[in-house]
Amino acid sequence: MEKYVVQNIQRPDPKLIEEFKNYDVSTVYEAQGKQGLLGHQLKPVQEGKLICGPAVTAICYAGDNLMIHAAIEVCKPGDILVITTIGEGVHGMIGELIVRALMKRGVQGVVIDAGIRDVKQIRELGFPVWSKAVYSEGTTKTRGGWVNAPAVCAGTQVNPGDLIMADDDGIVVIRKEDVKSSLEAAKNRVEKEKGTKEKIENGELSVDFYNLRETLQKENVIYYEDEEAFKKSLLS
């Protein structure tokens, strides 16, 4: 199989990317039909961060970070580097030096389905990273792979130029062909939630405004007046 680096990719309109930053991962995921979540094993190193930008993908062999170094060269300001591996591994694939190099290129953050190290230094630098492990085990730099090839990261397809959004709730991918429709859906969802918040403030119950009583009835959920009534039902 040919190994390669694609140096230039199509990226979404920067204005649309900035609009997405008004929302969050959960909102966008729900708005686009509960699609696009990356696996829950990827956790943020920096809490309280939200990033959204085009994906540059790097596919490495587990325990070898050669293609991460190759990817640094093609990253542009605002990109998010998405790293996945062939074979399972928790090696420290990136550390302080790679992070500094990515920051110099203007990269927003990293999503990596592998391990990282130098966490203290990365936190001090304020650089957002989502990873599945923290582990000091080092890597080789001898095995070629792919940069800007279609990748599967934490169980979800990520294509070069797709939008990646990540925050404390997790990571969601917005396919580049769906950017406009997903953004519109996110706007509509937030507007709808405003009405829901008003109902809550007015003292309305979610079981009513979501019309859930009928579902409870269908599921044969029984209401008891109090604990005594419940205890009597057990004896009958």
| Whole-number Å distance between alpha carbons of 31 and 26 | 8
* pLDDT tens per residue, range 10-65: 999 999 999 999 999 999 999 999 999 999 999 999 999 999 999 999 999 999 99
Q: Residue 198, annotated ligand binder?
A: no
Position 235 scores a pLDDT of 87
Domain ranges of the chain: 2-186
Q: Which amino acid is at 181?
A: S
Q: What are the CA-CA distances from residue 57 to residues 115, 147, 153, 161 (Å)?
A: 16, 6, 9, 9
Q: Residue 95, annotated ligand binder?
A: yes
Note whether 186 and 73 are within 8 A (CB).
no
- pLDDT tens sequence for the chain (236 residues): 899 999 999 999 999 999 999 999 999 999 999 999 999 999 999 999 999 999 999 999 999 999 999 999 999 999 999 999 999 999 999 999 999 999 999 999 999 999 999 999 999 999 999 999 999 999 999 999 999 999 999 999 999 999 999 999 999 999 999 999 999 999 999 999 999 999 999 999 999 999 999 999 999 999 999 999 999 899 87
| Whole-number Å distance between alpha carbons of 209 and 108 | 40
Position 1 scores a pLDDT of 81
- Residues forming a β-bridge with 156: 153
Superfamily of domain 2-186 in the CATH hierarchy? Ribonuclease E inhibitor RraA/RraA-like (3.50.30.40)
Position 236 scores a pLDDT of 77
Q: Which 8-state DSSP code applies to residue 235? A: H
Q: Residue 115, annotated ligand binder?
A: no
Note whether 106 and 76 are within 8 A (CB).
yes
Position 57 scores a pLDDT of 98
| Whole-number Å distance between alpha carbons of 156 and 164 | 12
| Whole-number Å distance between alpha carbons of 53 and 162 | 8
Phi and psi (nearest 5°) for 224?
-115, 145
Q: Residue 117, annotated ligand binder?
A: yes
